[in-house]
Structure 1
Amino acid sequence: MAKAKTKKPQKVAKPTQAEVEEAVRTMLRWAGENPTREGLIDTPGRVARSYRELFAGYEVDPRAYLKRVFEEVGGYDELIVMRNIRVVSFCEHHMLPITGYAHVGYLPSNRVVGISKLARVVHGFARRFQIQEKLTAEIAHTIFEVLEPRGVGVVIQAEHACMTMRGVNSPEATLSTSHLIGAVRDDPKTREEFLRMTMDHHH
């Protein structure tokens, strides 16, 4: 039997600003509002602008942020962990916000990167429609592939508006996901250290 080919995601034509604004007016009418009333006249334009910012991740390649690395680590071979990187994303099932924090760590081999670059990688992947588990893995694999460290760990703790605002309506529910690669996964001491530095961390 011939192996089924994996379908490449099709490139979708981007709507115009006017089409997006019309879609927002449709949503307003569907909710029971009058898009022509004074308070809502500028809303479609504002929504389009805010969405452009919230989904800026589609315009960037997070791998590129890591390309500029500092080769010299001066013999430093301990875990480098950056905690509390703000995550603002959107759940791809309900188009509602996912907000929380990412903690990112890696065990350098011969390359380290400026810490702001780790935050940029998180933001680059987060500012798209996402599933938290996939987001966690994407960040970890990108750091692992580009920096070639001995190990990587990523933990994300986030609140999902689709849980807290609707449906089961659990206001305090947060989802924790982790993705560990290499020594951070396989070496018990490193793994324990990374998880202690991230999982027990309260904001």
Structure 2
Amino acid sequence: MRRSSIGSYTAIRDTQVSNHLRGLLSEYGLILPQGICHLAEIPALAEDATNELPGVLRQLLMDMLEHFREIDRKIDVMETQIRQWHRQSEASRRLAEIPGIGLLTATALVGYIGTQAQGFVSGRHLAAYLGLVPRQHSSGGKQRLAHISKRGDPYLRTLLIHGARAVVRMCRGIQRRGSTPIDPWLERLLARKHPNQAAVAQANRNARIVWALLANNRTYCSRVTAD
């Protein structure tokens, strides 16, 4: 399975290419508005004989734009392959039912830890491996919790935390509207913890649910024990 986030990579790549092209044009007094959609204006600028762009730069701009489009085509192919793999993977489809876990996260998890999470003895073990548990240190004879350890695979940890943040945002929106809570556990956590801390806790919880589903061949429901 692809080990880099296509969504994140695409966003970063698009921004870098767009900024580079706009920078080249600005040196000749041509201002291209921000936004990937405005890259479509480059062919017209390259063909406009009234501006001061040198011939070499006109060709360079078109070459860069074509390279950009070719990468986009390859990414589209990869995304199609991932979707097909997801549809064919019963384990991946089960994981995608967990709130905060979408197609990319589900396919990455199954591709990395297997369809039965064979290398992990418990959900806590998986969460610890992914660096989603707080470090402990002693002070004055007492055990204190610090920031998460950030051990293990950073890509999987990032995906789980990003997904958990989406769940936290949705939960906070429900709180503001005064609607019926959909997750009492997260509601209680948000009442006493910062949203960022709640997101990490939710990511930890999701990792443990992932293990429970894979190790026990179960389907997600809100009552699945996260262990």
State the TM-score, normalized to the length of structure 1: 0.27
**Which of the pair has more CA radius of gyration?**
2
Instruction: Give the structure with the larger strand fraction.
Output: 1
Instruction: Give the structure with the larger helix fraction.
Output: 2
State the TM-score, normalized to the length of structure 2: 0.25
